Amino acid sequence: MDWQAEDLKYIWHPCSQMKDYETLPPIVIERGEGINLYDINGKCYKDVVSSWWCNLLGHCNPRITNALKAQAEKLEHVIFANFTHKPAVTLCQKLVKYLPEGLCKFNFADNGSASIEMALKMSFQYHYQTGNPQKKRFMALSDGYHGETIGALSVGALDLYAEIYKPILLEVNRIQAPDCFRCPYGKCRDNCQCECIEKAQKMFERCGDETAALIIEPLLQGSAGMRVYPPLYIKKLRELCDKYNVHLIADEIATGYGRTGKMFACDWAEVSPDIMCLSKGLTGGYMPMAVAVTTEKIYDAFYDDYLKGKAFMHSHTYAGNPLACACANAVLDIFKEDDILSSLPERNARFHKIVSEKFLPHKNVGEVRHIGFINAIELVKDKLTKEPFNSNLRTGYQIYKKALGKGLILRPLGDVLYFNPPLIISEEDMRTVVDIAYKSMVEILDE
């Protein structure tokens, strides 16, 4: 059977211009192991984007696979209203030990965007029920991404996803986000005092009284091009939120579970948000699941007699799915048993050294920024002025196609090439993927 033809006959792929598939048809993957994916012809592809950042501990990890199998033989799903099960309770018991102080109440969803929706509604309803009904707006950083349902898209700010839908989106007060590569203050992210916080200060002075929550991607704006900013900026945002009685929502969907070198990006700033959203690495990339975790204080604002109408009437059919919880428990077991977090700093530094030594000297590489295993290579037309390439050239996409031919999945963000591999990547694979990526780049941009 021609599986590519049959795919194109029926399937509308996500985040794709399907016309591109005329010249680059879908690759039919049959199996996976570690960071490797194998197509139906046996060709190997190195998955250094972790299949959209969710594969945490390698494809077909035997311990997660066995946990999933064992759970499937007991219970596949049960309504989560008025019922519960051991895997969900166990997950909360394990995860709360890693979370920033104060986060202790778990509301389950089935994907990251849904957890963002829950967080926004939770914050709005909390203020409504605690004597602040005027707090009905949200703040968010420019260039942010939080998902693609209407509420999540509203607090996001990337026109690639949101421009056409603006007539139906919520009105959000937008704070100019830090751009450390092209810092308007001429500072360096490694030693600045986050002078750019003045943009947030002015926004809070203007709109703090009407704001329910500020939502951020802590330390790393992923879809904006893996933009990295300092922990101090989060500390200062936390102070502003406290001053104006505004909730801080940390979207750790992409940054959680060791992606930044600590369990959560907020740990770098030693900050505890009021609500934290988790997904992606939560189940190791095995099953769709997300949680919005919040504080006892927020939870208590919803706790009352039913007829008072204060309950959080938000539900998902697959909330607390036992299969997903079993996978999530296996992930945390591996973190503990293999002491994953303690091994990350040295391995993160080694990978960054390999990436920067290879890419940074190139005439079209403006910056190699990193946090944890995430390394982003920003391509520019002019290294001195940081002038970007004309977007119509689709330079990153051309490099992506070259890399695919050599067995590497890059999936650039515009003209930002990046690595965001599973945490189990070996040093041999680090060198292999960097070499392939570099060769693919110079075939398009020359030495």
The whole-number pLDDT of residue 297 equals 98
- Predicted local distance difference test score (pLDDT) of residue 160: 82
Q: For 66-337, CATH number?
A: 3.40.640.10
Tell me the per-residue pLDDT of 321-348, one tens digit each, with 9 for 90 and over.
Answer: 999 999 999 999 999 999 999 999 999 9
Token pair for 1: 């059977």
Q: Which two tokens stand for residue 308?
A: 């008072």
pLDDT at position 140: 98
Which pLDDT score is estimated for 212?
98
Distance (Å, whole) CA 256 – CA 276:
10
Q: Report the candidate in 334, 443, 431, 375 with the shortest Cα–Cα distance to residue 67.
A: 334
Tokens of 286: 């095995």
The pLDDT of residue 325 is 98
Question: pLDDT at residue 447 above 80?
Answer: no
Fold of the domain built from segment(s) 3-61+339-445: Aspartate Aminotransferase, domain 1 (3.90.1150)
pLDDT of 226: 97
* Residue-wise pLDDT tens digits, 129-188: 999 999 999 999 999 999 999 999 999 988 888 889 999 999 999 999 999 999 999 999
Angle at 142 between CA 139 and CA 144, to 5 degrees: 90
* Average pLDDT along the chain: 97
* pLDDT above 90 for 416: yes
Residue spans per domain, the chain: 3-61+339-445, 66-337
Give the model confidence (pLDDT) of 422-442 as tens digits. 999 999 999 999 999 999 999
pLDDT 10s digits, 88-114: 999 999 999 999 999 999 999 999 999
Burial class for 98, CB neighbours closer than 10 Å (0-12, 13-18, 19+): middle
Residue-level pLDDT at 395: 97
